[in-house]
Amino acid sequence: MRLSLHTDYALRALIYLASMREDATTAAAIASGYGISKNHLVKVLQRLRDLGYVETVRGRGGGVRLTADPEQIRLGEVVRKTEVFDEVVECFNPERNTCPIVSVCRLPRGLGEAVEAFLAVLDRYTLADVASNKDALNRILGR
Amino acid sequence: MRLSLHTDYALRALIYLASMREDATTAAAIASGYGISKNHLVKVLQRLRDLGYVETVRGRGGGVRLTADPEQIRLGEVVRKTEVFDEVVECFNPERNTCPIVSVCRLPRGLGEAVEAFLAVLDRYTLADVASNKDALNRILGR
* CB pair distance less than 8 Å for B100 and A35: yes
Which one, of A53, A19, A23, A46, lies nearest residue A33 by Cα?
A: A19
Put simply, whether B117 touches A (Cβ < 8 Å) is yes
Q: How far is A85 from chain B (nearest CA, A)?
A: 6
* CB pair distance less than 8 Å for A35 and B115: no
Put simply, whether B90 touches A (Cβ < 8 Å) is yes
3-class SS of residue A67: coil
CB atoms within 10 A of CB B60: 5
Classify residue A21 as exposed, middle or buried by CB count within 10 Å of its CB (0-12, 13-18, 19+): exposed
Q: Tell me: the pLDDT tens digits for A2-23? A: 999 999 999 999 999 999 888 8
Q: Using CB atoms, which residue from B100, B118, B132 is nearest to A114?
A: B118
Q: Tell me: the pLDDT tens digits for A37-50? A: 999 999 999 999 99
Q: If you average pLDDT over residues A55-79, what whole number do you get?
A: 94
Put simply, whether A88 touches B (Cβ < 8 Å) is yes
Residues B16, B66 contacting (CB under 8 angstroms): no
The whole-angstrom separation of Cα B102 and Cα B89 is: 11
Q: Using CB atoms, which residue from A105, A110, A129 is nearest to B106?
A: A129
**pLDDT number for residue B91:** 94
CB contacts of A132 in chain B (<8 Å) are 106
The whole-angstrom separation of Cα A15 and Cα B88 is: 18
Which one, of A21, A118, A52, lies nearest residue B120 by Cα?
A: A118
Write down the CATH number for the domain with range A5-140: 1.10.10.10
Q: If you average pLDDT over residues A53-70, what whole number do you get?
A: 93
Q: Tell me: the pLDDT tens digits for B75-111? A: 999 999 999 999 999 999 999 999 999 999 999 999 9
Q: Using CB atoms, which residue from B90, B106, B114 is nearest to A122?
A: B114
**pLDDT number for residue B124:** 97
Q: How far is A54 from chain B (nearest CA, A)?
A: 19
* CB pair distance less than 8 Å for B88 and A2: yes
Put simply, whether A68 touches B (Cβ < 8 Å) is no
Q: Which value does ipTM take for this structure?
A: 0.94
Residues A4, B100 contacting (CB under 8 angstroms): no
Domain boundaries, chain B: 5-140
Q: How far is A87 from chain B (nearest CA, A)?
A: 5
Question: Which residues 31-60 of A are in CB contact (within 8 Å) with B?
Answer: 33-36
State the pairing for strand pair B54-57/A63-66: unpaired
